[in-house]
Structure formats: C-alpha cells, structure tokens
Copies of this chain bind each other. A is one copy, B any other.
Amino acid sequence: MSKRQLSLGAFFMLPGQHAGAWHDPSTKRENLWNPGYLAELARTAEKGKFDLIFVADGVSAGYTSRAFEYGARVTQFEPLTMFSYLAAVTEKIGFVATASTTYNEPFNLARQFASLDHLSKGRAGWNVVTSTGEEAARNFGKRDQDWPHHLRYERAHEFLDIVKKLWDSWEDDAILYDQEKGVFLDKRKVHRVNYEGRHLSVGGPLNIGRPPQGYPVIVQAGSSEAGRELAARTAEVVFTAWQTLEEAQAFYRDVKGRLAKYGRSPDELKIMPGVFPIIGRTEEEARAKKKYLEELVPLQVGVERLSFQLGVDLSRYDVDGPLPQLPPLEEINGNKSRFELIRNMAEREHLTIRQLIGRVITGRGHWEILGTPEQIADQLQEWFENGAADVFNVMPPVFPESLNEFVELVIPILQERGIFRKEYEGSTLREHLGLERPVNQFARQTVAQN
C-alpha cells in the first residue's frame, strides 16, 4: 500500500509573506500588478507540483491603519479575476480564492466560483471568511456598524447552505441539448432553491451549470469555537495557525472529532496549518536571512501590526517591556484564534513587545521553520506524520526567490522520502487533495423518493 501523501499549498501574498518583503531590492514596483509576473510564479508552483495556490483577501485598503503608508497591506489583484487569468496559463494546479460571506451576495459569488471551476476544468476552491473591521463595513454602506462575531457566523452558515444549493440547482445531466427534439434541458433536473433565512433569501436556480467538481473545494480559515463548528459542518480544508506541535495536534484532534456529529468521516476534512520557511544552505545562512529581513521592517510597522492583531494600541508602551494587560477573549471581535495564539506565545516564552513583533512580522503568527532544506523537510514531516497536518500552506517570505528555493530544494527531498507526488495524478483540485466529488442534494432526494 502506498504511503499517505502530503498536500501543499503555495500562499501567494505578494511581494512576500514577510512584512519586510517589499523593502528588499529583489522585489520590484512594476511587479505589483504585472500579470506576466504572476503567471511566472504560478508556473513555478505548478512545476513544484503544489496542490494549490492560495490567496488571502480583504475588502478594505487598510487606509485607517497607522502603518498604511509603510505598505502594511499591499493592494493586490482581486482573487476571482486573478485565478480566472491563471486558469489559462496553467494546467493542473488548484486555486483557492478567499471571499467574504459578509459582504457578498450568494448568487453572485456562487456563480463566479462556478464559472472559475468551469474555466479551470475543476481546479477551484473557496476559502470562506467572514469580514471584520469598520473600514470594511463602511465600504458596504454600513457606516461604522461592524457586524458582531456571532451574526457574521450565522450569516456565513446561511450563505454556505445557499451557495451549495445553487451549485446543485442544475443536476449534472440536466442539459439534454437534444437537437432533434428541440429540447434543451430536462426541467425536472433544474431546481429552485427557495431559501428563506434570517439574513439571506434566494430563489434560484443559478444561471450556470453545476461546477465540474460538484462544488469547488470548501476551505475555512477561522479557528475560533464558531469557526471550528462551521468547519466541521461544511469545510473540506481548514487553514489554521499554530506555533507548536502539541497545539497543532490538539487542534487536529478537536476538529476531526467534531465531524461525526455531522455524519462525516475524519478523511473528509483536511487540516492545513500555515508554515513560514526560511531556507539557507546552512542553518547559519538561514538565520542571517531572517535577521536581514527583520531589519528591513520599520519598528512602527511592527508595533502597528501587533496592535491590530491584539486589539490594543501598543504605541504608548515601551517596546522592550512586556505586553500590557490584554482584553478578555470575549471582547475580541476580530480574529479570536490569532489573538489567543499571540497571547499564549507571549506568556509561554515571556517575550517583550519587540520580541513578539519579531515573530509577528515574519510568519504573521504562522509556524516559522528555519534551516537547511533537510531541516525544513524534517519539520514538515514531523507534523505530517504525528497527527498535526494533512496539508501545509507554504508562505514564501519573499517572491520569487523563496518560492523558487522551496521548489528546487525542499520539494525534491519530500519526493525522495515518498510523501509527496512527483507528478500530478489527477486533474482536479479534489483529486489532488483526495476529496470526494459531492453528491447533488437534489438528485439524492429524487433517488430517496423512488
């Protein structure tokens, strides 16, 4: 029997995951919105046989952040258009686009993801997020009224239910295209959705046929209690952030343990921690690279980023002292799990604000691994083989170099060890990840009634 296989995501945050990336002379201003450069990066990831490219997203420019001028959040292509473009220049690699359930219409989003899945012949995935923050709210007519955490998740549940119904609204064999009889479709196989929720109501059917994958792969990124429950009920991949093997294992067990009550088996949900690799030919070279990148980032940017993640203005405190008293978890309306992760890391390791900034500007809270290609591979393998990860979302510090290094130096080692593919075997993202194509809920009902 063949070994259990690792999956890999390439996390595209341009010009790099490290907050210092854009300061590095190897990155160029003209590559900010350069589709040719983007295509080159995607082909590199495909050459490395990555399962997927992943993009994070938000619906505000970060103008109200004090670090705005310092490139705290760099503008980027909109994910659905970007991946539709990349569908034309790649053949196998999957595409996970982040999109918000808070500030989209389910009909529009279901349709665009279905369209991307058709354009890419079954390579689309959706990272489902809820959006937070007053700047985002104001971009959608909400004035300064941010959504409370529980209502965002309630809406997200409804949103997902509707979108899946819309994807199912055309059964796979609904279109007859019978030129002889002049009948285009079998109306019994096209379904209204008629969903009436507390937040959302949609009639349907969708105006595009069922996606090649049935549904694009559903990814979920929240690791709070509400996020875990949404994931257990609806997600196929969970994107998460952990600093230690023990924490990652606990999360892995917890989320997989929630599946049974929804009638799902543990294999139906893949756990995908983010990982931030700093690769050197020697460990020393890797350490020097880390130090170099850290020094590129103005202290002010680090203070602002940490303040944002903790929901506390740290600009009034001594950076060489400890964190001030933090608010209780219940009062955090943003990313609750990221807040907990950073708080726990500070307490566990007795870090000063400056030291904590060093952690946050690198992997932005994700697992940082450093060393030679062998050491990187060892650490990934350890988590993979000890119940902490099924997939890693690999976050190159600076593009394109860090991606190139990972593809050229680390992937061959994982391949030699027999835990990562040498060639794509399937052609859809579901096939890469080992996920089943979902049965159409309306077709299932028809069968059940017979």
Contact = CB atoms under 8 A, between A and B. Distances in A.
A100 to B, nearest CB: 9
Interface in A113-132: 114-116, 118-121
A348 to B, nearest CB: 31
B78 A32 contact: no
A77 B184 CA distance: 17
A71 interface: yes
A432 interface: no
B119 A185 contact: no
A182 B182 CA distance: 65
Contacts of A135: 203
Contact of A88 (B85, B115, B121, B169): B85
B88 A177 contact: no
Interface string A179-199: 100111111001010000000
Contact of A190 (B63, B119, B143, B187): B63
B70 A183 contact: yes
A89 B35 CA distance: 12
A81 B86 CA distance: 11
A82 B80 contact: no
A265 B248 CA distance: 65
A391 to B, nearest CB: 25
Contacts of A202: 138-141
A434 interface: no
A78 B175 contact: no
Contacts of A141: 200-202
Contacts of A23: 179, 182
B80 A140 contact: no
Contact of A33 (B25, B111, B118): B118
Contacts of A63: 190, 192, 204-205
B121 A35 contact: yes
B35 A87 contact: yes
Interface in A202-223: 202-209
B29 A175 contact: yes
Most B-side CB within 10 Å, residue of A39, A105, A121, A139: A139
A112 interface: yes
Given A76-B207, A138-B202, 13 more contacts: A35-B119, A35-B121, A61-B169, A63-B190, A69-B183, A70-B184, A71-B185, A80-B80, A80-B81, A82-B119, A103-B105, A103-B107, A107-B140
29 contacts: A24-B179, A25-B179, A32-B177, A33-B209, A58-B207, A59-B107, A60-B203, A61-B207, A63-B204, A69-B183, A75-B206, A75-B208, A77-B119, A77-B208, A78-B114, A80-B112, A81-B81, A81-B116, A81-B119, A84-B84, A85-B85, A88-B89, A103-B105, A103-B107, A104-B108, A107-B140, A138-B201, A139-B204, A141-B202
Interface of A: 22-25, 29, 32-33, 35, 39, 58-63, 68-71, 73-78, 80-82, 84-89, 103-105, 107-108, 111-112, 114-116, 118-121, 135, 138-141, 143, 169-170, 175, 177, 179, 182-187, 190, 192, 200-209, 296, 298
